[in-house]
Amino acid sequence: MAERGYITREIRRHQGDAVALEIDNVAEEVPVALVYNDISHAVMMATPLDLEAFAVGFSLTEGIVDSAREIYDVEVEPGCDGIEVRLNVSQRAFMAMKERRRTLAGRTGCGVCGIESLALLDLVPEPLAAARTIAPSAAMIRQASDALRARQHLMAATGGVHAAAWCGPDGQLRAVFEDVGRHNALDKLIGHLARARESFGDGFVFLSSRASYELVRKAARMQIPMLATISAPTSLAIRIAEQAGVRLLSFCRQDGFVEYTSPVSVLASDSLEAAG
């Protein structure tokens, strides 16, 4: 496995009647088993980069631990058939995980693979603190959009991965992580921020993907006030964002965006201005 996140292989490129022999870069996708206190809990398909951050972020956004302080140790152990990431977590977190244990067989782009019943779906988000609001602007989105393209190194090499970026209120990029799975990229970003003890309330997440429900659910759990995506949202993503109070922007390209949810106070203010 390559530490750069992709492999190279010989290909034949067809263009009209011409055929050229070339070397192509292909994004890696491998099974990553997350093992808690020697018990395997989930197997996700992921790009084998930043796996410690991924494991921490997954543990937080899936509610396995309440804070990064409950993770005492993380070890990455490559094997023949995939990679094991072994976490030593607090006894409280481990016992709670066993109580609601579910086996996930993760696939890129899927947030509920392997869930045993509809009753186990966790679709009720934690409400955001009222003070956590960020007002979007065209300049902010342009800043984030332009900067993200320059930071997507794995995407530039392979054309086949997603990116999750942490931005300041002005749209300045502070951190970027990439993966074949958009939810994996977000978990890597959140894990990085948690390990660095960054505040989740003073910025927003910018994603090079659509806004699906699990991305909004993860943002809500971490009290992230705003989520911006390049592509469209789903109906469930909008519903969860509304319930949690997460500001959801999609179709964020250049200096344009579509705002699907806003804090109640802001919506009320906008309605009053329109009425006046």
Catalytic residues: 110
CA-based nearest residue to 227, from 146, 165, 137 = 165
Nearest to 50 by CA among 4, 97, 17: 4
Mapping DSSP to helix (H, G, I), strand (E, B) and coil, where does residue 229 land? strand
d(CA 165, CA 181): 14
CB 216 within 8 A of CB 125: yes
Nearest partner of 85 among 94, 72, 76, judged by Cα: 76
DSSP one-letter code for 270: H
Residue identified by tokens 């979007």 is 136
**In whole angstroms, what is the distance from residue 249 CA to residue 142 CA?**
13
